[in-house]
Amino acid sequence: MDHPEEIVSLESQIGQNRFMFVMRNVKEEYKRKNYELVELVVISLLRCTNCDAAKTLHRAHEYFDFYEDLFGCLSYEQSLEDDELRESLETGAIELFENADDEGRALTAGKVSEMMPAGADKAEKLLKMMNYMIIRTLRNYPLAQKNGFIFMCNMGDSKFENLSSIVTRTHSFSMSRYMPVKISKILLFRPIYFVKFCLTHLKSVLVRGAMSERFYILTENAQDLFGKPVALREDILPPIYGGKNWAYDLQNRLRGWRLEEQENEISMGSSYRAGDEDMMFSDSESAQNSGFSILTRDISTN
């Protein structure tokens, strides 16, 4: 008789023991360089893997190597004080919406017309944008840690000459292999006729393996986003996606994110700092009294 998979909560004693085990086995150099990022990534991966310690440790190291390749050093901390990052986000090429469905998943929505052409420099900027949005979301939304992200590619206003698989494949590969998140769904929204006509071929080009089962090519109708199997929340999405969030404003969101950064800087100032070589949990009580307890706070809604 088949038995349902056992659910291991990160807040349980077993979950905390696995958290401490993974933290002890993460490379010391990573913890010295950026302890806060290491802890956040470990917690997020434990939540989305049902506290699978081996998978978490492997994926965490994959992400830290990716981070160093992308930024040059793990100690680098992204901030909206970086003019290039801020200006990239202000284009709206990729936007993020927390609590996008009833399971608390986050939605990233990328506009093909803004993301092309796919030069190497632009691909790198897009990866940096995605990393920033993912990390800030994981820091503040435990349900997104557990239930994952939905990635949507909006092809509205794009033309055939805009179509390139380079960006989509690059980001699909990067998200699935390196980013410390669970990918719940990948959506292709408002596809041009060529995409719909070549559906079978494009699915094999854009996504591969098990992820193809979570890949949906939608229509021009925004209601596709709110019905099954996508089932996003109308009150979260702005009118451009058929939603009812009339108050949504990208610039206000970015200002809010900057205030969020400042709040995090203040809270981290009274806790540990990257570079503390002796910052290790010795028991479950110390784990609860450090950043672990901060990252298990209740989720707010938009």
> pLDDT of 129-154, one tens digit each?
999 999 999 999 999 999 999 999 88
CA atoms within 13 A on the CB side of 224: 14
pLDDT at 206: 53
**What is the Cα–Cα distance from 257 to 274, expressed in whole angstroms?**
22
pLDDT at 94: 92
Residue 16 and residue 95 in one domain: no
Does residue 254 register a pLDDT over 70?
Answer: yes
Residue 25 and residue 135 in one domain: no
**What is the Cα–Cα distance from 134 to 110, expressed in whole angstroms?**
14
Return the minimum-mean-pLDDT range out of 86-100, 173-187, 238-252.
173-187
Residue 87 and residue 73 in one domain: no
Average pLDDT over residues 197-220: 64
**What is the Cα–Cα distance from 69 to 65, expressed in whole angstroms?**
6
Residue 72 and residue 88 in one domain: no
Does residue 244 register a pLDDT over 60?
Answer: yes
Q: Is residue 238 assigned to a domain?
A: yes
Average pLDDT over residues 11-21: 96
Residue 38 is part of which domain span?
A: 7-77
Q: Which of 1-5, 95-99, 284-288 has the highest mean pLDDT?
A: 95-99
Average pLDDT over residues 264-290: 50
Q: Is residue 298 assigned to a domain?
A: no
pLDDT at 297: 40
Residue type, 276: D
Domain boundary among 77, 110, 139: 77
Average pLDDT over residues 251-261: 94
Q: Looking at residue 181, which CATH number applies to its domain? A: 3.40.525.10
Domain boundary among 77, 105, 135: 77
Average pLDDT over residues 58-82: 95
Length of the chain: 302
| Cβ-Cβ contacts under 8 Å for 156 (sequence gap 6 or more) | 111, 113, 189, 190, 220
Residue 181 and residue 38 in one domain: no
Domain boundary among 77, 106, 132: 77
Please report the DSSP string for 61-98 in residue order: HHHHHHHHHHHS-TT----TTSHHHHHHHHTTSEEEES
Band (pLDDT 50/70/90 cuts) for residue 192 is low
Does residue 171 register a pLDDT over 80?
Answer: no
Return the minimum-mean-pLDDT range out of 74-78, 119-123, 128-132, 181-185.
119-123
Across the chain, mean pLDDT equals: 80
pLDDT at 298: 39
